[in-house]
Amino acid sequence: MRWRDLGGEECSVARTVSVIGDRWTLLVLRECFLRVRRFEDFQARLGITRPLLAARLRKLVGAGVLERVAYQERPLRHEYRLTPRGLDLHPVLMAIVHWGDTHLAPDGRRPLLHRHKPCGHLFDPVMICSECAVPLHAREVTVEPGPGGGSRTPHRAAEAEPPSPRRRARRPGATSSG
């Protein structure tokens, strides 16, 4: 599989990686969520070359993740704002932040803390089931073929395997010890 062909794959991970899957793009997105909007500010904060930054911003605008908006007429200057599609990447960035805080922060010392404005508390991001609101854990999730998958969908046969009959079904709301 070639890097430039990822966007055409029948895999949501591959298609997403084709848009946000390089280190500079993820760092640009981090800055966007920290409310950085102007080219010079991205460049100063990231230490990225102008051509590389311009290419990443162009790619994000082309993918509908950012929009380019004029903020000054003379001379004409633009800033970059997250679109609704871009804002939908917030949980992805929060998951990366949480993983980094959990596994890579020296002595557990997080570089940034996140506060939920409505309740006022510091928080850790948690992914929950959209149906029962119970936190999701990798060992408690299975995958099944979806309507958008075809014969080229990675691991399609493995995804369709029924659960082992030896594994007991969990009661809704039961917690996992690991």
Q: Domain coordinates of the chain in residue numbers?
A: 3-89
Which token pair is 139?
């060992």
> How many other CB atoms sit within 10 Å of the CB of residue 24?
16
pLDDT at 170: 47
> How many other CB atoms sit within 10 Å of the CB of residue 106?
7
Q: Which residues of 32-44 are buried (b: 16+ CB within 10 A; e: fewer)?
A: beeebbebeebee
What is the C-alpha to C-alpha distance for residues 127 and 136, in angstroms, rounded to an integer? 6
What is the C-alpha to C-alpha distance for residues 148 and 172, in angstroms, rounded to an integer? 29
Q: What is the CATH number of domain 3-89?
A: 1.10.10.10
Low-confidence residues of the chain: pLDDT under 70 = 1-10, 150-178
**Amino acid at the residue 5:** D
User: Is-contact 37 79, C-beta < 8 A?
Assistant: yes
pLDDT at 11: 77
Which token pair is 51?
């051509």
pLDDT at 64: 97
Q: Which residues pair with 128 in a beta bridge?
A: 135
User: Is-contact 68 61, C-beta < 8 A?
Assistant: yes
